[in-house]
Amino acid sequence: MKNIYLVGFMGTGKTIVGQILAKELGKEFVEMDACIEERNSLKIVDIFAQKGEAYFRGLEKILLGELSQKEDLVISCGGGLVCDSDNLKQLKETGAVFALKASVSTIYQRTKGHTHRPILNVDNPPEKIEQLLKKRACCYAQAQYSIDTDDLSPEEVANKIIDILSHG
């Protein structure tokens, strides 16, 4: 079976939903940011600070190239991964792409106080979230499926994905 890719903004539930989904489906779960941190012996926030976002996006592209050669994975992708058209094409060719969405207020509530989110280490995080969501909306809209996670538990989101997969 092809891979299942979870895309979307930080705080939409990609990691927790991915873990639940992998367990329910008996598949391996991969969290791309965690893989990048492990490979580089640096936290994402430190990669951004020391080497910049472009360098990080290059690491994402390399890792996606490797993961997309495998099958039966549930993969939580970084929030900006789908904004690269080559990455998006690779996702669609090698799996089912689910965009997880949430409102600005939900994302802020889920991510506030998390200093490991380099993009939100700004004076007004809700404003930054709104700006980035607008900027990335067209990218997330290209996923094959979209699920609003605002009023759903991670288990409910995972069950929706399983229903979609089982009904084509």
Cα 36 to Cα 40, 43, 58, 78, 126: the distances in Å are 6, 8, 11, 10, 26
Mean pLDDT along residues 134-152: 95
* Helix spans in the chain (H): 14-25, 32-40, 44-51, 53-67, 85-94, 104-111, 125-140, 154-166
For the chain, give the mean pLDDT. 92
Average pLDDT over residues 98-116: 86
Query: According to the model, what pLDDT value does residue 118 have?
Result: 59
Tokens (6 digits) for 21: 């989904």
CATH code of 56's domain: 3.40.50.300
The reported pLDDT for the residue numbered 124 is 87
pLDDT at 45 over 90: no
Report pLDDT digits (tens) over 146-157.
999 999 999 999
pLDDT one-digit tens code per residue, 77-97: 988 899 999 999 999 999 999
* Mean pLDDT along residues 158-162: 97
Number of Cβ within 10 Å of residue 113's Cβ equals 7
Q: What percent of the chain has pLDDT over 90?
A: 80
Q: How many domains does the chain have?
A: 1
Q: Which residue range is the domain that position 9 belongs to?
A: 3-166
The confidence score (pLDDT) of residue 39 equals 96
Task: Let me know: does 149 contact 10? Beta carbons within 8 Å.
Answer: no
Give how far the C-alpha of residue 37 lies from the chain's centroid of Cα atoms, to the nearest Å: 15
Q: How far apart are CA 121 and CA 161, in angstroms?
A: 32
Question: What torsion, rounded to 10 degrees, do the Cα atoms 42, 46, 51, 57 define?
Answer: 80
Provide the percentage of residues in the chain whose pLDDT is more than 70: 95
What's the whole-model pTM score?
0.93
What is the pLDDT, as a whole number, of residue 168?
63
